[in-house]
Amino acid sequence: MSDSTSTDAAIEVWGLCKRYGAFEAVRGIDISVRRGEVFGLLGPNGAGKTTTVEILEGYRQRSAGDVSVLGEDPASRKRALRQRIGIVLQSGGIYSYVTPREALRHWAAFYPAPRDVEEVLALAGLQDKAAQPSRKLSGGQLRRLDFALALVGDPELIFLDEPTTGFDPAARRSAWETVRRLRDLGKTILLTTHYLDEAQELADRVAIMKDGRVLAIGPPRELGSGASSYRVAYRNHAGELIERQTDDPTRLLNELTAEALARGERLEELSVGRPTLEDLYLELTADG
């Protein structure tokens, strides 16, 4: 790694491994997240996303490899580093009798320059529930509180482990807005998600993990369409859906439409598309 690369990077991971007993949950991954980037970690249940994220947060110890977070080793668990990062854990949770406002005030006190608590309550859409004991909040509202807790310290690096799981569609949109605003402020964000549309919307780059390995890494749009092929689909006269792969859709369309016209038929539901992030994800993570 050159010096200039290291100063650009908020997170660097080289050959990271994590074993739980004899089980290898993370098997030598390399990831570099630039400052100001939104980076998405994707992968099926058990891929090793939370393990990786929690090692970066300093919540778990690694078995092997090197890790640098804002220039520090998170395993040292220095307070100064922890004050520069914000975290949404996959399984959050606060005492049932604490209200969102109290939780945020309490947590804000840990940071040197926190954001205004009322502003963060509004940002998370929790103004109306600010004084309710958390046991009276819905699952999605509790998750919004987790999100608010990650923002209240105004950290420069934010880890979001499935931040919008359980959100209703409107809450998800507003969380996306918040992530975009944080990005505009120059914050670095590492998020995991099972929603590929979320990754597509938010992430500058994503890594697809499976069985503790990174299988692909890159901007979501390029990853999806990185395969050079196009997909042409239509319904034939018998009503069957026909799908063809091609590198040259112009030529294929010309042939197909000419043949159809010659037969006096129409190509119903004709479409030309590029493989999406979801297509690639499903292909890479398929079993077998």
Residues binding ligand ATP (CB under 6 A): 20, 23, 25, 43, 45-51, 90
**Beta-bridge partners for 208:** 42, 216
- List residues binding Mg ion (CB under 5 A): 49-50, 90
Name the residue among 109, 112, 116 with its Cα closest to residue 80. Answer: 112
Contact partner, 10, from Mg ion, ligand ATP, none, Cβ < 5-8 Å per class = none
Looking at residue 60, its amino acid is R
For ligand ATP, give the closer residue by CB, 25 or 253.
Answer: 25
CB atoms within 10 A of CB 269: 10
Closest separation between CB of residue 206 and Mg ion, Å? 15
User: Coil, helix or strand for 207?
Assistant: strand
Three-state SS sequence of 48-101: CHHHHHHHHHCCCCCCEEEEEECCECHHHCCHHHHCCEEEECCCCCCCCCCCHH
Binding partner selected for residue 20 from Mg ion, ligand ATP, none, CB under the kind-specific 5 to 8 Å limit? ligand ATP
174 binds, among Mg ion, ligand ATP, none (CB under 5 to 8 A by kind): none
Q: Which does 45 bind (CB under 5 to 8 A by kind): ligand ATP, Mg ion, none?
A: ligand ATP
Least distance to ligand ATP from the beta carbon of 251, Å?
42
Closest approach, Cβ 58 to ligand ATP, in A, equals 15
Q: How far is the CB of 110 from ligand ATP (least distance, A)?
A: 25
**C-alpha R_g of the chain:** 23
Q: Which residues fall within 8 angstroms of residue 162, CB to CB, at 6 or more apart?
A: 90, 192, 193, 194
| Residue 90 Cβ vs Mg ion, minimum distance, rounded to whole Å | 5
Q: At what angle do helices 100-108 and 139-151 cross, to 10 degrees?
A: 20
**Which partner from the list Mg ion, ligand ATP, none does 51 bind, CB cut-off 5 to 8 Å by kind?**
ligand ATP
Of 43 and 100, nearer to Mg ion (C-beta) is 43
